[in-house]
A and B are shown apart, each in its own frame.
Chain A
Amino acid sequence: QHFRGRKNRCYKLAVRSVRRAFVKSTKARREKKRFLRALWITRIEAASLEHGLKYSAFISNLLKSQVELNRKMIADLAIYEPKTFKSLAALAQRRREEGFLAALGDGKEPEGIFSRIVHHY
């Protein structure tokens, strides 16, 4: 940081290293979004494993029950609001079971409270 060695004193070397620093910062601004999303995903995975669910099951069931929170929010909720995260995990688990029953048993329409689709007008 702050340009080690002769890069902070000599003009020619400083010009080159400052130019590289600008270019790296522009590229990093695009990578930051990918990095943060991966971080949120690992955090949600850890939190949902504590409640006995995998990340894939958790997210897919939440989306199927029409809850559209994005990963940043779910990660923040898992950190600061554990009870809310527990209720979300229970919702996902219940929707998963209802999905299994709808696939296995020969019910005509999916019974169950959380498989119903809500219409917004």
Chain B
Amino acid sequence: VAKTSLTSPPWPEVKLPDPVEEAKHHAEVVQKVNKMIATGQYGRLFAVVHFASKQWKITSEDLIMMDNVLEAECGDRIRMEKVLLVGADDFTLIGRPLLGKDLVRVEATVIEKTESWPKINMRFWKRHNYQRKKIIVNPQTVLRINTIEIFPCLS
């Protein structure tokens, strides 16, 4: 039968690779990455952490400032859970959405708790004799990320 413009659908035909071979390939890759982590062949690790309703991309020896109060004294060590992504030079571990607590460990220390610079909030409508001025000072906390560690417990 001759091929017309309506024999095959207009979208490109999509073929997935074989599931058995795929599973084998995946297992191989997981084994390799596990071995790499166990032997310690990674350089600097970076992590994406969800903290204080924001997502931060952090490495070790990093400073982070957040616009709220943390109930911890200066000098307290904090362990951050809710890690979304961990990566090094050759591999990344993507969480869906979070990574397990027995896989990654992120440690941080509270360094200082200050207030922000006084921000001015002003509202003014012309010809209506309306102006309001308010000075807003937010409390801020500064954290330093000490270490990011990963453990070879992939499966």
Contacts and interface: CB of A to CB of B under 8 A. Distances in A.
A84 B14 contact: no
Contact of A22 (B94, B97, B120): B120
A19 B122 contact: yes
A69 B123 contact: no
A87 B33 CA distance: 15
B19 interface: yes
Interface stretch (A5-13, A31-39, A46-54, A97-105): A97-105
Interface string B72-98: 000000000000110100001011111
B16 A81 contact: no
Given A73-B57, A113-B26, A65 B96 contact: yes
Contacts of B121: 26
A111 B19 CA distance: 9
A66 B16 contact: no
A87 B92 contact: yes
A97 B16 contact: yes
A3 B119 CA distance: 19
Contacts of A112: 16
Taking chain B's interface residues, is the majority helix, strand, or loop, or is none over half, making it mixed?
strand
Contacts of A120: 97-98
Contacts, number: 70
Interface residues of B, number: 27
Interface in B45-83: 46, 48, 55, 57
Given A67-B96, A69-B85, 16 more contacts: A19-B122, A22-B122, A67-B94, A68-B97, A69-B84, A72-B55, A73-B85, A81-B87, A91-B94, A97-B14, A100-B14, A101-B16, A112-B16, A113-B26, A120-B97, A120-B98
Interface of B: 11, 14, 16, 19, 22, 26, 46, 48, 55, 57, 84-85, 87, 92, 94-98, 119-124, 131, 133
Interface of A: 19-20, 22-23, 25-26, 29, 65-70, 72-73, 76-77, 80-81, 83-84, 87-88, 91, 97-98, 100-101, 111-113, 118, 120
24 contacts: A19-B122, A19-B124, A19-B131, A20-B124, A22-B120, A22-B124, A23-B124, A26-B120, A26-B122, A67-B96, A69-B55, A69-B84, A72-B55, A73-B57, A73-B84, A73-B85, A83-B92, A84-B85, A84-B87, A84-B92, A111-B16, A112-B16, A113-B19, A118-B96
